[in-house]
Structure 1
Amino acid sequence: MEKQYRFGISTTVDLSVDIFTQLDIFARAGFDFISLSARPAHSRFFDSEAFAEVLRRVEELGFFIESAHFPFWEGYDPAAMEEKDRELALKNLAEYMEFAGTHKIPIVIVHPHYYFNDAKEACFERAARSLEKALVFKPENIRMAIENLPTAAGSWICENLLEEFGNDRVGFCYDSSHENMSGKPFHLLSKFYYRLTTTHLSDNHGGSDEHLVPGDGNIDWRKTREYLDKSPLNNILFEVGTGEKLTEPVESFVGRTKRAIRFMFEGAG
């Protein structure tokens, strides 16, 4: 029996558009769920009263929030070189996961590192130590999923973290755009498709993190679909757009994304 899919989109798409307008656009395009971007202010995250309004609108539109993306710039780097910076990142992560858990958002997506200047092995060790600490304070109703990051070093770190932490401890957020910049096509997905917790699907041309509509770059989406069909996932998340203001109307960009999904999945879901 063919898998039945539900399709979601991240609010990262264009952060110049307020979240309530985004939600209406997503609903008109026919999406099933959303994921919150790594910009908490955009989604009213941490403001319980304002966030309650977001939750009400999500429910009115028949959506659910599949995941939330932990911020990933300075102050949020679990693999920062300085211990005080790692401790700050862990403090912020604890607060983020607690808020997500309180509001029944089941998945928190985490970049295991930010930019680093030393060896990938050293960055991996710092990231692994921080993840071990994060698992101690993680709420029971939260699944923490690490995301593969651009460059071969980023892929190497993600691969080794997934091998270090079993599927019962840490999930995997597969970013197709990042993988396409980082080595042989599907070098991560082919190995860890069975570990998928969520996805950040978008396209690019292999050189920069464009987060294009599927089909606008050079990723092999037929092959991607084959791995998704073998994975445990039924909820497929697209992270198109970089958060910057789009060069086309958001309605058009989101609509093109949904049409690309229909073509890619040939009526599934």
Structure 2
Amino acid sequence: MKGFGIFSWFSYPLPLKERLALIKDAGFKATSLWWGDEFGDKNRQPETARRLGLDIDYAHAPFDNPNDLWLDGINGDTYLNQLFSCIDDCSRHGIPTAVIHVTRLSSRPPVTSIGMDRIRKLVEHAETRQVNLALENMDSICHLDHIYEQLQSDRLGFCYDSGHENYNHPGADCLSRYGDKLFAVHLDDNWGDEDTHLLPYDGNINWEALGNKLKKCRDIPYLTLEVDFNRQNKRSRIYQDLSAAAFLSSAYQRLEKLCSSL
């Protein structure tokens, strides 16, 4: 493991360059990028991060309609093409991994042949572009099981989200289930009632147990946080008086605490 990373968005509405500089100053070695069009030209982000001395762990693909992957119709094809484009951009910018959603967090359609055909095309595209494809655990354990059973590729792997597991499928034991396929992690905490993206140790996740499972997984470059907070959410009020720098400093310290148990 090279070090610690954190997603480039962590709730403070600052310009990207300023956020990345604060991430670097807090001691993080890497960041991860949102690959949508909401915040300007996304293709400038990798160079901005690297000029500041940050590596890029992964790019997170947009996920407006992931359930449509499994349904017949143009919307599924549109989402597939969006994922193709993200993989192409990762290849062009030297970003090793694209993280994608294959269902929503709160609902999912059944596994279908048309959905599997689209996933197969996606994996083949990732192989051609030499980009890792990391499927995130949403409300989708049965879908992930089916995909990994049916498709084998060195480029097809897993992105573990600790908050999603604790909130949505606490009994799935995703790290034991898919740890040999691990490409990236989204580490965050919650109390099992909402996907609140709290800092580790501020919810009820057993981080010692999680750390022990991580030790048995495929080695990954970075332990990466995906933390943010909604100031209107009661769970997030513990952060409301923290500056961006103080929040990042606390985030880094939580990863140090986790690493001390690894």
Q: TM-score range by the shorter chain?
A: 0.7 to 0.9
Give the match for residue 248 of structure 2. Answer: 254
Partners of 2:210 and 2:90 in 1: how far apart?
A: 29
- State the 1:230 CA deviation: 1.6
Q: Does structure 1 residue 171 correspond to structure 2 residue 165?
A: no
8 Å Cα contact 1:15/1:42 also seen in 2: no
- State the 1:243 CA deviation: 8.2
Change (3 A) 1:209 1:116: closer
Q: Deviations over 1:16-39 (max 9, x none)?
A: 222111111101110010110253
Change (3 A) 1:215 1:126: farther
Segment drifting more, 55-64 vs 237-246: 237-246
**Which residue of 213, 232, 250 corresponds with 1:227?**
213
Change (3 A) 1:96 1:217: same
Return structure 1 stretches of 4+ with deviation > 6 angstroms: 115-118, 243-246
Partners of 1:29 and 1:222 in 2: how far apart?
A: 24
Tell me how large the CA RMSD over aligned residues is.
2.6
8 Å Cα contact 1:16/1:243 also seen in 2: no
Partners of 1:186 and 1:77 in 2: how far apart?
A: 20
Q: Does structure 1 residue 88 correspond to structure 2 residue 74?
A: no
Partners of 2:106 and 2:23 in 1: how far apart?
A: 36
Q: How many residues align?
A: 253
Q: Secondary structure at the match of 2:50?
A: helix
User: Residue type of the partner of 2:251?
Assistant: T
TM-score by length of 1: 0.83
Give the match for residue 73 of structure 1. Answer: 64
Change (3 A) 1:117 1:18: same
8 Å Cα contact 1:78/1:90 also seen in 2: no
Partners of 2:145 and 2:169 in 1: how far apart?
A: 13
Change (3 A) 1:64 1:40: farther
Q: Deviations over 1:131-183 (max 9, x none)?
A: 11212333432111110004xxx223223323332352411000100011123
**Which residue of 15, 28, 31 corresponds with 2:28?**
31
Partners of 1:257 and 1:116 in 2: how far apart?
A: 27
8 Å Cα contact 2:211/2:261 also seen in 1: no
Q: How does 1:226-245 map to 2 (within 5 A)?
A: 226-231=212-217, 232-241=219-228
Segment drifting more, 35-44 vs 239-248: 239-248
Partners of 2:221 and 2:40 in 1: how far apart?
A: 25
| Structure 2: gaps (5+ residues) | 233-238
| Structure 1: gaps (5+ residues) | none
Partners of 1:186 and 1:28 in 2: how far apart?
A: 36
Q: Secondary structure at the match of 1:204?
A: coil
**Which residue of 15, 18, 25 corresponds with 1:21?**
18
Change (3 A) 1:128 1:226: same
User: Residue type of the partner of 1:156?
Assistant: C
8 Å Cα contact 1:79/1:114 also seen in 2: no
Q: Secondary structure at the match of 1:132?
A: helix
8 Å Cα contact 1:203/1:215 also seen in 2: yes
Q: Does structure 1 residue 59 correspond to structure 2 residue 50?
A: yes
Change (3 A) 1:100 1:156: same
Identify the structure with bigger relative contact order (alpha carbons < 8 Å, sequence gap 6+): 1
Change (3 A) 1:133 1:242: farther
- Name the % identity: 24
Q: Secondary structure at the match of 1:230?
A: coil
Partners of 1:177 and 1:81 in 2: how far apart?
A: 27
